[in-house]
Amino acid sequence: MRIAARLSAYDENRQSGLFGADARARGLQASLTLARPPAEGEFGWRLQGWVSGSDLQNRSVATAAGRTGTTPANDQFETPATGLGLNAALRARHGPLEWEAGADLRQVTGTSRERFRYLGGQFTRLREAGGESLTSGLYADATWTGGDWLLTGGVRADLWQASDARRVERDALTGATTLDSRPEGQSRVIPTARIGLRREMGQGWYGRSAGYVGFRPPTLNELHRPFRVGNDITEANAGLHPERLRGFELGLGREDATRRFAMTLFANRLEDPVANVTVGTGPGTFPVAGFVPTGGVLRRRQNVGAVDAFGLEMDGEQRVGEHLVLRGGLSATRARVDGETAAPQLTGKRPAQAPRLTATFGADWQAMPRLLLAADLRHESARFDDDLNTRRLKSGTVLDAQATWSLTPSLAVWASLRNGLDTDLATGRTGDGILSFDAPRSVRLGVRFSR
C-alpha cells in the first residue's frame, strides 16, 4: 500500500499602488491518499481526501479625476471559505486493458462580508453574501494497448447543486435590512465523455487525436460575490449555470532519450461561457448595484452564448550534455464570442483576458550535484480587459528564476526571483484608465520536504 500526505499554508499581503487599497489572503490545504496499484489479475484501489480553508480581506478605492486622490469604496473584511473533496476508485489490469471506476465529491462553502457605500466619511451599508456548491459524480476510465496503438476513453455523470444562496444588505448605522435576496437553488445532472487515440510511428514519432465533452460549474465568487475595482463594479449572478465544452485535437510528436517535441491543433466550442457583461456606465444609480461614479462601468456576470476557439500549441525539450535542459513552448489561439440572443453586442469580439499568442523559453542547469538553477522567460501578446474590447492591455515579457539546494534526498531549500526584469505587465484597466499590474520584482525563500 502507498500513502501520500500533503500540507500547505500561505499568507500573502499585497498593495495595489493606490492609497487605501490593499489585500491579505490566507489559506490552508491538506490531503491524504491511500492506494494500492493494480497487478495482473488483482484489483487495485485508491482512497483520497482533501480539505481547504481560506480567507481574504480586500479594500478597494475610487479614484478622483487625474488620480489626484482616492476615496474608500469597498471593504471586504472577511470572506471565509471551506472546501472538501473525496475520491474512491477501484482499479484493475487484464492484459492490454487497464480500467478504473469510481466516485468523487467536491463541496465548497463561502461567505463574503463587506462594508460599502461610502458617504459622509464613513461606510453606510453592510453586505453578507454567499452560498454552497456540491458536485458529485460517478465515472469509468479505460486504456487499451495493442502493438503501436493506444486507445483511451472515459465517461462521467455529475450531479451539480448550488444551494443556500443569500445576499443580505443592512444600514450600517441602524441595522435595518435594505435588501434580502435568497435565490432558489439549482440542480443539474451533466454527462461528459472523452476518447483518445495514439499511434507509434517509429523512430520516436507518434500521432494522436482526441475528442471530448466537458463542463465547468460556476464558482462561488461568480454566483454570489460582487466586487469593485476602482470605479468599476461587477455584480454576481446566482442564476448562472455550468459552462459546457466540446472539442477535438490532432497532434504530432517525438520523444527519445535527449529530446521531446509535441504539436497540437485544436478546435473548441465553449457553450454558455461566464462573462462579465457591461450593462451600464456611470455616473448613475442602478438597481441592486447602487451608484456607479463618473468613469466607471457596471458589469454583471452572465452566460453569453458561446466562444469558438481554434489554435496551435507546441512545446519541446532538448537535453544538452548531462547537466543542461532547454525547453520552450508556443500557444496561438483565435477565439471569438458568439453572443447569440443572450449578448448580441459581443458577437465577433475576443474574450476578455485572452491573448492571441503566448511564448515561453526556459532552462534547467544542474550546476552541481546539489545545486539546480532554473530560469523561465514568458511573453504574452496584447489582449483586452473588457467584454467590449475597448480596454487594450499591452504585451509583456516576464523573467523568473530559481535556485534549489538539496540538503538531503528529502529536504531542499530554494530561492526564487519573480519578475526579474521588473516588467509592468498590465492585468486590468478600469473605465477611467487606471491600470492594474502583476506583482513587481520579488524574491522568495522556501523549504521543501518530500518522501
For the chain, 451 residues long, give each residue's pLDDT as a single digit of tens. 899 999 999 998 887 667 778 889 999 999 999 999 998 878 999 999 999 999 999 888 877 766 677 888 889 999 999 999 999 999 999 999 999 999 999 999 999 999 988 888 899 999 999 999 999 999 999 999 999 999 999 999 999 999 999 999 999 999 999 999 999 999 999 999 999 999 999 999 999 999 999 999 999 999 998 888 878 889 999 999 999 999 999 999 999 989 999 999 999 999 999 999 999 988 888 888 888 888 889 999 999 999 999 999 999 999 999 999 999 999 999 999 999 888 999 999 999 999 999 999 999 999 999 999 999 999 999 999 999 999 999 999 999 999 999 999 989 999 999 999 999 988 888 877 778 888 889 999 999 887 7
Half-sphere exposure of 433 (CA within 13 A, CB side): 4
Q: Is 304 exposed, middle or buried (0-12, 13-18, 19+ CB in 10 A)?
A: buried
State which amino acid sits at residue 301.
R
Gap between the Cα atoms of 339 and 347, Å rounded: 5
Q: What angle do CA 420, 426, 428 make, to 5 degrees?
A: 145
221, three cell numbers: 465568487
- Cell 435594505 sits at which residue? 178
Gap between the Cα atoms of 126 and 391, Å rounded: 31
Residues in Cβ contact with 39 at an 8 Å cutoff, skipping those fewer than 6 apart = 93
Gap between the Cα atoms of 5 and 49, Å rounded: 10
Buried/exposed 226-246: b ≥16 CB within 10 Å, e otherwise: bbbbbbbbbbbbbebbbbbbe
Residues in Cβ contact with 3 at an 8 Å cutoff, skipping those fewer than 6 apart = 32, 33, 34
Gap between the Cα atoms of 291 and 324, Å rounded: 58
Taken as a whole, the chain contains a residue count of 451
Cβ atoms within 10 Å of 324's Cβ, excluding its own? 14
Cβ atoms within 10 Å of 305's Cβ, excluding its own? 20
State which amino acid sits at residue 346.
L
Whole-model pTM? 0.87
Residues in Cβ contact with 23 at an 8 Å cutoff, skipping those fewer than 6 apart = 13, 14, 16, 56, 57, 58, 59
Gap between the Cα atoms of 259 and 326, Å rounded: 9
- Cell 475528442 sits at which residue? 211
Buried/exposed 159-196: b ≥16 CB within 10 Å, e otherwise: ebebeebebebbebeeeeeeeeeeeeebeeebebebeb
Gap between the Cα atoms of 342 and 369, Å rounded: 59
Gap between the Cα atoms of 275 and 256, Å rounded: 43
Q: What angle do CA 85, 245, 158 make, to 5 degrees?
A: 35
Half-sphere exposure of 384 (CA within 13 A, CB side): 14
